[in-house]
Amino acid sequence: MVKNKYRSEQALETAKQKRHGGETIQPPVIKIPEGEALEYAESIIDTIREPLIALDQDLRVVKVSRSFYEFFKVKPEETVGKLIYDLGNKQWDIPKLRELLETILPQKTSFDNYEVEHDFATIGKRNMLLNARQIQRVLGKERIILLAIDDITERKKTEETLQRLDGEYHSFMEKALSEQMALTDTLRNTTVSRDDLIKEVAKRKQTEYMLMVQIRQMQAFYSLAEIIEREGISLHEFYQELCDILPKSWQYPEIAYARIVIGESEFRTKDFIETEWMQCNS
């Protein structure tokens, strides 16, 4: 069986050689000059949305993406060739970053999603996810470290807001349940006047109404958080979905509509009708 397989492969190769005049055709090898390859790599780095920084083996900056300059508000002459810890008047001298680059990276050659919190003089307090890779270059050349930075500050704020609202929601639920049980006990064990009963019922309805408002607001916040976390959503899609969410958190969602105007762009809910009643933020 093996012998027959070998003969079949040999016959196939012979047929290929005959088809091309007796010569074996090899796949083409594309060679790019080193200068062009470097320019090509730098162009790729500049198109990456997240801030990216390339370091040599001594942790000095070799190349920085355009998004890094824009996000951290630094200039090339203040960055390239500098030790990473000296950037921005030593703003990058972060203990956690030192541990990652000097201890963890040499052992593992890469690390992913290490969260670092730091207060920068230029952009304020930020929460960042750091990802790094060691790139081994051709023989005789030093290794390169690629450090990618994902700013998750707004995501963290959203998560903290949702946690706070969730805590408030549960506290409100516990309070509403306690008041309802107290009212039930009152009605069961005491004789109350008709006016007092009406007041207690009204109070109970008000509590139920406030609970419903809280629930609607929580649902709207959760929906907004899901939109923010969604990968690849465009700004146009974000504003339209935000517009669709807003009426659901209002007092009368069944008759509420929303319109968002940003510059010359306008976003509306379905069947939007402009009336004399409106809520706006000027």
Residue 75 domain flag:
yes
State yes or no: pLDDT of 29 exceeds 70: no
For a pLDDT cut of 90, what percent of the chain falls above it? 5
Residue 23 domain flag:
no
| DSSP letter, residue 274 | -
**Band of residue 1 on the pLDDT scale cut at 50, 70, 90:** very low
Q: Tell me the whole-structure pTM to 2 decimals.
A: 0.53
Residue 14 domain flag:
no
How does DSSP assign 207-220, residue by residue? Answer: HHHHHHHHHHHHHH
Sign of CA dihedral 175, 180, 184, 190: positive
Q: Which of 46-55, 145-154, 186-195, 213-222 has the lowest mean pLDDT?
A: 186-195
- What count of other Cβ atoms lies within 10 Å of the Cβ of residue 39? 12
Of 107, 123, 151, at which residue does a domain stop?
151
**163 shares its domain with 247:** yes
| Strands, E assignment, 41-109 | 52-55, 61-64
Range of the domain at 45: 39-151
In this prediction, residues 171-189 reach a mean pLDDT of 73
- What count of other Cβ atoms lies within 10 Å of the Cβ of residue 6? 10
State yes or no: pLDDT of 200 exceeds 60: yes
For a pLDDT cut of 70, what percent of the chain falls above it? 76
**164 shares its domain with 98:** no
Report the pLDDT value the prediction gives residue 6, as an integer from 0 to 100. 46
More confidently predicted of 187 and 111: 111
In this prediction, residues 57-75 reach a mean pLDDT of 88
Residue 30 domain flag:
no
Report the pLDDT value the prediction gives residue 37, as an integer from 0 to 100. 47
**114 shares its domain with 45:** yes
Mean pLDDT, the chain, as a whole number?
76
**69 shares its domain with 134:** yes
Of 130, 151, 172, at which residue does a domain stop?
151
Residue indicated by tokens 């990802």: 131
Close Cβ partners of 211 (under 8 Å, ≥ 6 residues apart): 172, 173, 176
**164 shares its domain with 147:** no
Q: Is 90 left (phi over 0), alpha (psi -120 to 50) or beta?
A: left
Of 122, 151, 180, at which residue does a domain stop?
151
Residue 90 domain flag:
yes
Number of separate domains in the chain: 2
State yes or no: pLDDT of 139 exceeds 70: no
Residue 260 domain flag:
yes
**142 shares its domain with 165:** no
Q: Which of 143-157, 167-181, 226-240: highest mean pLDDT?
A: 143-157
Report the pLDDT value the prediction gives residue 32, as an integer from 0 to 100. 45
**59 shares its domain with 121:** yes
**178 shares its domain with 91:** no
Residue 3 domain flag:
no
More confidently predicted of 40 and 69: 69
- Kindly report the CATH number assigned to the domain that includes residue 52: 3.30.450.20
Residue 233 domain flag:
yes
